[in-house]
Chains A and B, each alone.
Chain A
Amino acid sequence: MAKKMALGIDVGSVTTKLVFIDENDEVLEGLYIRTKGNPIITIKHGMVEAYETLKKNYGEIEIIAVGTTGSGRQLAGVVVGADMVKNEISAHAYAATREVPDVSTIFEIGGQDSKIIFIRNGAIVDFAMNTVCAAGTGSFLDHQAERIGIPIEEFGDYSLRAKNPVRIAGRCTVFAESDMIHKQQMGATSEDIIAGLSESLVRNYLNNLARGKELLPTFVFQGGVSENIGIVKAFERTVGHEVIVPKNNKIMGAWGVAMLAKREIEITGKTTNFKGFKITEVKHDTRVFYCDGCANNCEIYEVIENGETLAYWGDRCGRWSNKITSKVSSHATQAKSNTK
Chain B
Amino acid sequence: MKIGIPRGLYFYVYYPMWYGFFESLGHDMVLSVPTNKTILNLGVSNAVDDICISVKVYHGHVKYLLDKKDVDYVFVPRVVSEDKYKYTCSKLAAMPDLIKSVFSKDADRILSVNMYMNQGRKPLFDAFGEIGRKLGASVKNVKKAVKEAVIYQEKATNCLRNGHNFIEVVRNIRNLDDLLDKPVKERQYKVALAGFPYDIYDSYMNGDVIKRLEEADVRVVVTDMLNPKVYKKYTKYMIKDLFWHQANVAAKGGMYYMDSPDIDGVITISSFNCGIGAIYEKLLDLYSKETGKPLMHIVVDEQTGDAGLVTRIEAFIDLIRVKKGDGLVAS
Contacts and interface: CB of A to CB of B under 8 A. Distances in A.
Contacts of B46: 211-212
B48 A182 contact: no
B305 A208 contact: no
B307 interface: yes
Contact of A170 (B44, B49, B303): B303
A239 to B, nearest CB: 13
B45 interface: yes
A175 to B, nearest CB: 5
B45 A175 contact: no
Contacts of A208: 49
B302 interface: yes
Interface in B170-204: none
Contacts of A233: none
A169 B102 contact: no
B155 to A, nearest CB: 40
Max count, chain B CB within 10 A of own CB: residue among A171, A182, A212: A212
A131 B307 CA distance: 28
A182 B45 CA distance: 25
A169 B304 contact: yes
A179 to B, nearest CB: 5
Contacts of B307: 182
A175 B49 contact: no
Nearest to A170: B303
A178 interface: yes
Contacts of B308: 178
Contact of B305 (A175, A207, A211, A212): A175
A224 B46 CA distance: 29
B303 A211 contact: no
Contact of A169 (B45, B49, B303): B303
| Chain A interface size range | 10 to 19
Contacts of A170: 302-303, 305
B302 A211 contact: no
Contacts of B304: 169, 179
Interface in B78-137: 102
A169 B305 contact: yes
Interface in A155-202: 169-171, 175, 178-179, 182
A211 to B, nearest CB: 6
Given A207-B44, A212-B102, A179 B305 contact: yes
A171 B305 contact: no
Interface in A269-292: none
A179 B308 CA distance: 11
Contacts of B305: 169-170, 175, 178-179, 182
Nearest to B44: A207
B104 to A, nearest CB: 11
A179 B302 CA distance: 13
Nearest to A208: B49
Interface in B290-331: 302-305, 307-308
Contacts of B48: 211-212
A212 B45 CA distance: 7
9 contacts: A169-B304, A169-B305, A170-B305, A171-B302, A175-B303, A178-B305, A211-B45, A211-B49, A212-B102
Given A169-B304, A207-B44, 15 more contacts: A170-B302, A170-B303, A170-B305, A178-B305, A178-B308, A179-B303, A179-B305, A182-B305, A207-B45, A208-B49, A211-B45, A211-B46, A211-B48, A211-B49, A212-B48
Interface of B: 44-46, 48-49, 102, 302-305, 307-308
